[in-house]
Structure formats: structure tokens, C-alpha cells
């Protein structure tokens, strides 16, 4: 499996100290290996009006370990952080459009992500769970329904792999509403041959396409990030030049409108990821611009969001645009259902 350099969640995650044997493979016929997404930002009312589309959500790296390369998805400490600080805060953005299927899987830990001798194997094990979960979903729940694939960070990488290996060029592509590949560095060079036939989304209501963004503070020096992205692509593609990173503004979702003022943003989650319920949304609090393939953001101070080193807003790739993502997923779902109306 190809591994592309991604921004890794290095702090605030569940910490594992005791060494353990390789975790058992999840049995996706058991409900305990699926997350129930039942949390919303404070003040947001549940919306179940649109349920004709499914979303298969893949959570990011959530385990900071000094001993293990893949986490046990049912470990109580790991599970609590994964659920409350990742799944509920992120996958919930799709609750207005879709039934959500969020597998608990043996995700690669930060130890694996930082160890080039074990990284590929750890990612391959994690992805094997994702494929089996997706197969179970297709066999038992899909029943021909349209679906969205979405994930952040490590989950974004696995989403990209599902698109490349299981959906592109198959009958499933006809059921695809969109793929939200968030927080990894896809490049122009990935458009072909890797994703040939599945375009980068150009318009907010377009279906059968994928979106991508990486958030970084406006005052940051982006040169090291761009250099690292280019080097990683070349290393994995026989020296081929990858071009620019791909970016779709998650406020406009329109490639003709790469810049959005703060007033246009529908709602960001206040505060850093953590345990417990989400705070309220704040509308009009994030200015954003796709520039040089990165999403340059200017969040309002009242959001109280802490960046990672170098100004990366990786922790907040979803939270900054929670309401915008929610509205866009619903729009694409409605568009697909209208276009493919069954008689």
C-alpha cells in the first residue's frame, strides 16, 4: 500500500504504554466493531429528513503509543478517545444527509507512522480491516444504495485507497455520491492514473467526484510543507513530478471560487478536540483560501483553536468547516437522488 506523508496527530491522543500482541482482527458482523454516531454540536438539532444515502466514515490516527504499531480498537482508553475526540466530532457532520457506518479498526499508531521500517506494514494491516468492513457493509447494508466515502488523516489515506482499489472502474462507481479525502496530501499527479475516471470535484453539487484539503494558518511558512509533499510523491512514483497539491475550498466547494471570506462560513466547532460533548458552532468565523494547493485559513480567535507546529490546523480540518461540510454532503446526496430517481 502506498503511504503518503500526512500530518500526524501527535498530542492529546490515547496513550498506550504496555506492549501487546497484534490485536485480533475485527469481526464486522459484531456491532461492537462499529461506532454509533450520536453526538452533535451544542444547539444543532437532529435532522433525519434525508436518509437515502450512506456514508462510510474512516477515523484518523488516534493512538500515541511507544510500543504498538496498530491499536486494539476495543481497548477502553483507545476507544474513548477515538469515539469522543474523533468519530463524534467528525463523522457527525454527515448526520443530516446519511446513515453513517464508521468501522472500528486496527489503525496504525503514531509509533508506526514515525517508523519507516514498519509504517507500510502497519498501514496495510489497518487498510485490510477497512476493506473487510466495507465488504461487510456492501454485503449486508448497502442493498444498492448510493454512498459517500469519507475520512480524515489516516482515514483520508484509507478513503483514497478504497477509491483507487475498490471503486474506480467498477460497478460501485455508479453508486458513488462523492469521496471526502481530508487531511492528506494528494497531488495533481494522483489524478491519473491513480484516480483516472474519478475527477476532483469542481462544483458544490457535483457527484461521482472527490474533494481534498489540508488546513494551515495564513501566517505560516508553507515552503517546507510543499517541499516535503513533492519529495514524498517523487519517492513513491519513481521520481515523477507530482505537480501541486490538490485543494477544494470546503466553504465554497467550487474550484472557480478558491477564496471565501469569514462571513460565508456556515459554522465551526469551538475548542480543540477532546473528551465530552462538542461545544456550539460559530458561524462567520473562518476565512479560507486554496493557495498553492494548501487551504490557507484565518480562524477567529474566539474559536480557541491551537495549531500544530508549523501552523498546521490538521486537528481542525473537519471542525473548522463542520456546518459547511454537513450542508455540502446533503446537497450532493440530494443531487444524486434526484438525478438517479428510481421508477
- Residues 43 and 274: their CA atoms lie apart, in Å, by 18
Please report whether residue 1 resides in a domain: no
Please report whether residue 3 resides in a domain: no
Please report whether residue 27 resides in a domain: no
Please report whether residue 177 resides in a domain: yes
Residue 320's φ and ψ, nearest 5 degrees, are -60, -25
User: pLDDT tier at 82 (50, 70, 90 boundaries)?
Assistant: very high
pLDDT at 12 over 80: no
Position 20 scores a pLDDT of 52
pLDDT digits (tens, 9 = 90+) for 84-140: 999 999 999 999 889 999 999 999 999 998 999 999 999 999 999 999 999 999 999
Please report whether residue 63 resides in a domain: yes
Helix and strand numbers (H, E) in the chain are: 7, 14
Structural domain total, the chain: 1
pTM of the model: 0.94
Classify burial at 218, counting beta carbons within 10 Å of its beta carbon; exposed 0-12, middle 13-18, buried 19 or more. Answer: middle
Q: Mean pLDDT of all residues in the chain?
A: 92
pLDDT digits (tens, 9 = 90+) for 240-296: 999 999 999 999 999 999 999 999 999 999 999 999 889 899 999 999 999 999 999
Classify burial at 291, counting beta carbons within 10 Å of its beta carbon; exposed 0-12, middle 13-18, buried 19 or more. Answer: middle
Please report whether residue 189 resides in a domain: yes
User: pLDDT tier at 45 (50, 70, 90 boundaries)?
Assistant: confident
Least confidently predicted of 1-10, 86-95, 185-194, 221-230: 1-10
Owning domain of residue 176: 14-20+32-339
pLDDT at 225 over 80: yes
Q: Which residues share a beta bridge with 147?
A: 54, 176
Q: Which residues share a beta bridge with 183?
A: none
Please report whether residue 153 resides in a domain: yes
Position 256 scores a pLDDT of 97
Please report whether residue 26 resides in a domain: no
Amino acid at each position: 500500500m502506498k503511504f503518503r506523508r500526512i500530518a500526524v496527530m501527535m498530542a492529546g491522543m490515547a496513550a498506550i504504554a504496555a506492549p501487546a500482541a497484534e490485536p485480533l482482527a475485527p469481526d464486522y458482523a459484531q456491532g461492537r466493531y462499529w461506532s454509533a454516531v450520536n453526538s452533535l454540536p451544542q444547539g444543532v438539532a437532529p435532522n433525519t429528513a434525508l436518509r437515502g444515502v450512506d456514508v462510510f466514515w474512516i477515523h484518523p490516527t488516534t493512538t500515541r503509543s511507544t510500543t504498538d504499531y496498530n491499536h486494539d480498537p476495543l481497548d477502553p482508553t483507545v476507544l474513548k478517545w477515538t469515539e469522543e475526540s474523533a468519530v463524534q466530532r467528525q463523522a457527525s457532520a454527515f448526520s443530516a444527509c446519511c446513515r453513517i457506518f464508521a468501522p472500528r479498526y486496527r489503525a496504525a499508531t503514531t509509533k508506526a507512522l514515525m517508523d519507516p521500517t514498519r509504517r507500510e506494514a502497519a498501514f496495510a494491516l489497518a487498510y485490510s480491516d477497512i476493506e473487510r468492513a466495507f465488504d461487510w457493509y456492501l454485503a449486508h447494508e448497502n442493498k444498492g444504495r448510493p454512498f459517500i466515502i469519507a475520512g480524515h488523516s489516516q482515514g483520508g489515506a484509507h478513503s483514497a485507497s478504497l477509491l483507487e482499489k475498490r471503486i474506480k472502474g467498477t460497478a460501485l462507481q455508479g453508486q458513488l455520491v462523492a469521496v471526502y479525502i481530508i487531511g492528506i496530501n494528494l497531488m495533481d499527479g494522483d489524478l491519473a492514473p491513480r484516480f483516472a475516471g474519478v475527477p476532483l470535484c469542481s462544483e458544490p453539487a457535483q457527484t461521482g467526484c472527490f474533494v481534498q484539503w489540508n488546513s494551515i494558518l495564513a501566517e505560516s511558512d508553507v515552503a517546507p510543507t510543499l517541499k516535503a509533499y513533492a519529495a514524498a510523491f517523487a519517492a513513491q512514483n519513481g521520481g515523477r513530478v507530482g505537480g501541486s497539491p490538490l485543494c477544494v475550498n470546503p466553504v465554497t466547494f467550487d474550484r472557480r471560487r478558491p477564496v471565501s471570506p469569514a462571513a460565508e462560513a456556515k459554522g465551526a466547532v469551538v475548542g480543540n478536540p477532546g473528551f465530552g460533548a462538542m461545544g456550539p458552532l460559530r458561524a462567520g468565523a473562518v476565512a479560507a483560501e486554496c493557495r498553492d494547493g494548501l487551504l490557507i485559513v484565518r480562524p477567529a480567535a474566539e474559536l480557541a483553536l491551537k495549531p500544530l507546529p508549523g501552523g498546521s490546523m490538521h486537528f481542525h480540518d473537519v471542525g473548522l468547516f463542520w456546518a459547511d461540510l454537513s450542508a455540502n454532503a446533503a446537497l450532493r446526496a440530494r443531487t444524486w437522488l434526484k438525478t438517479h430517481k428510481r421508477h
